[in-house]
Structure 1
Amino acid sequence: MTEPFQTKTSAEGPSLFYLTSWMDEQDGLTAGFTGRHGGVSGHPWTSLNLGLHVGDEPARVVQNRRLVAESLKWPFDAWTCAEQVHGCRVRQVTSADRGSGRENRAGAIADCDALMTNETGVLLTSFYADCVPIYYVDPVCRVIALAHAGWKGTVLEIARMTVESMKDAYGSEPKDIFAAIGPSIGQCCYEVDQPVIERVEPLVQRLSTELEVSPAEMMLENGEGKARLNLKEINRQIMIKAGILPTHIELTERCTGCRTDLFFSHRMEDGKTGRMVSWIGMKER
């Protein structure tokens, strides 16, 4: 399987991983994920930290965001983001929301972990340091969305909630939606303890029964009160259950835990690290 997120890093610019198959097929669409290099932040956020909530100097974070927007050839005024809370609320974004949160947290869309829009000229963004970035595009209704899924959002099925919200707000049919799962911590690096297992296990068992998939592909228990979670696969199965065709789902092999040379990892760096961004936007054809 070809890795869907292809890197394009210049000697001077920010490290960017483009969702090239979507961009090649759909005029005016940009989508991808940032790496950790090519910014101006100092230690321990070195160097392309895009999160305002991790203790970095706000001016440097805003400068990093401007660098990314400039590299994407998008105006910084289009950068639109939410204050994420590890929930499952999906927010419809209109042109009036354009630019929310780009320079400060107070201006971000409140209490929201998924954004969707059918507006052109709006660059949706979301922040990560191990959680799962999920991308959606409906080329029929011209709708895009981003969802942020840590283990809590996964249990709340934000991946399904986003599909249902696209259908309710814009008339999107699940069979027409394409989805992608971006760089995030893999089962190789994500060990959890009993309290998390107890929250995740009912979902894993239900998906396993309904979709005839092995539970071990989603959660591998070691018999000693620990388990390794595959959040990417759990979210993939949630989207399939929501009606997205398996052939319409791109799945990265990139693990933020394994590749701290490329990405920030909250778990591998003991919480003292920066944040990457997922982005998606449409321009007029």
Structure 2
Amino acid sequence: MPCMGFKRNCINGVVFYTIPSFEKEGIKHLFTTRIGGVSRGCYESLNLSFKRCDTKEEVFRNFRIICDVGGYNYEDLVFSDQVHGDRVVKVTSADKGKGLVRKSDIVNADGLMTNERGVPLVTFYADCVPLFFYDRVHRAIALSHSGWKGTALKIAQKTLKAMEKEYGTKPWQCLVAIGPCIGVCCYEVGDDVAQRFKDMKTPVPVVHPKGGGKWMLDLAKANYYLFLEAGVPDENIAISGVCTSCSREFFSYRRDKGMTGSMAAFMQL
């Protein structure tokens, strides 16, 4: 696997990660941590999920905070509606605001893509894998949410295929990135999940026996191999190398037994 390719930033007390290879291309993007917001209790402090028991007022304030830091127009954000599937939706300027400031008809979608400038895409995480895509030739971007189900369904490859259908994207023309997610050090699964990944054709195993019918799953590496199989050059793949369960900078659904908030990935042309 390639070396770590993310950078930790702190602005006005807000901690977030960016991808140097994307920054060089002028792509506005970031991945949040839990640090720098106003939420309290188990959601402290930069929770960006309305699906938890956090107060809506504090989540709205958190979005304003991260938009100020990242330079996004608060009223333009477009949210995904994640269901651990493999559907990728095309987003245009007509969709601005869907999910935050107006009702959204974007449903059952774990991936968002666009080739329009000024349309900020937003996807949500609390251990699952954030996937970033940038087609340098056709100037198109995408974000996809890839938990174990999405990874088994190969959403990484399906996002590239969706971009090819809409924009003419070719995998070898893309920069991609695998963001902070639960690591193989912490992600224990049962035989049923492990079998799905044993059946994947990867150069080396992405599940490792723990004993007692339990296995340790490497979601980041599984997505890395999916990108290689799709034709993305190794040097075009950035990986954070950060485990969201190990690091207290992040919310972790597994570590915190569901009593936790959510981070988010932002991306805009």
Q: What's the TM-score once normalised by structure 1's chain length?
A: 0.90
1:222 to partner: Cα distance: 2.8
Question: 1:139 aligned to 2:136?
Answer: yes
Counterpart-to-counterpart distance in 2, 1:108 and 1:264:
27
The residue aligned with 2:261 is: 274
Local SS of the residue matching 2:255: coil
The residue aligned with 1:155 is: 152
Which sections of structure 2, spanning at least 5 residues, go unmatched?
A: none
1:108 to partner: Cα distance: 6.0
CA pair 220-246 structure 1, distance change in 2 beyond 3 A: same
Local SS of the residue matching 1:137: strand
CA pair 2-202 structure 1, distance change in 2 beyond 3 A: closer
**Which residues of 2 match residues 232-251 of structure 1 at below 5 A?**
232-251=220-239
1:223 to partner: Cα distance: 4.2
The match for 1:72 among 57, 70, 73 is: 70
Counterpart-to-counterpart distance in 2, 1:198 and 1:253:
24
Structure 1, residues 225-278: CA drift from partner, whole Å, max 9, x if none? 111000000011111111111111001111101102x10111001110110001
Which sections of structure 1, spanning at least 5 residues, go unmatched?
A: none
RMSD of equivalent CA atoms: 1.4
**Conservation of the 8 A alpha-carbon contact between 2:115 and 2:140:** yes
Question: How many residues are matched?
Answer: 268
**Which residues of 2 match residues 83-122 of structure 1 at below 5 A?**
83-103=81-101, 106-107=103-104, 109-122=106-119
The match for 1:214 among 197, 204, 208 is: 204
Counterpart-to-counterpart distance in 1, 2:36 and 2:171:
37
Worse-matched range after superposition: 131-140 or 241-250: 241-250
Q: Which amino acid is 1:177 matched to?
A: C
Question: 1:189 aligned to 2:186?
Answer: yes
Counterpart-to-counterpart distance in 1, 2:50 and 2:20:
28
**Conservation of the 8 A alpha-carbon contact between 1:133 and 1:184:** yes
Local SS of the residue matching 1:86: coil
Question: 1:59 aligned to 2:60?
Answer: no
Structure 1, residues 38-82: CA drift from partner, whole Å, max 9, x if none? 101111100000011011111111110111111112211221111
Local SS of the residue matching 2:41: coil
Q: What's the TM-score once normalised by structure 2's chain length?
A: 0.95
Percent sequence identity over aligned pairs: 38
Q: Which amino acid is 2:216 matched to?
A: R
**Conservation of the 8 A alpha-carbon contact between 1:13 and 1:71:** no
Counterpart-to-counterpart distance in 1, 2:191 and 2:170:
38
1:2 to partner: Cα distance: 5.6
1:194 to partner: Cα distance: 1.7
**Conservation of the 8 A alpha-carbon contact between 1:190 and 1:229:** yes
Structure 1, residues 186-229: CA drift from partner, whole Å, max 9, x if none? 001111112222333222xxx22xxxx111xx111234311100
**Conservation of the 8 A alpha-carbon contact between 1:9 and 1:15:** yes
Local SS of the residue matching 2:116: coil
Local SS of the residue matching 1:15: strand
The residue aligned with 1:26 is: 25
Structure 1, residues 127-174: CA drift from partner, whole Å, max 9, x if none? 000000000001110000001000001111100100000101100111
Local SS of the residue matching 2:7: strand
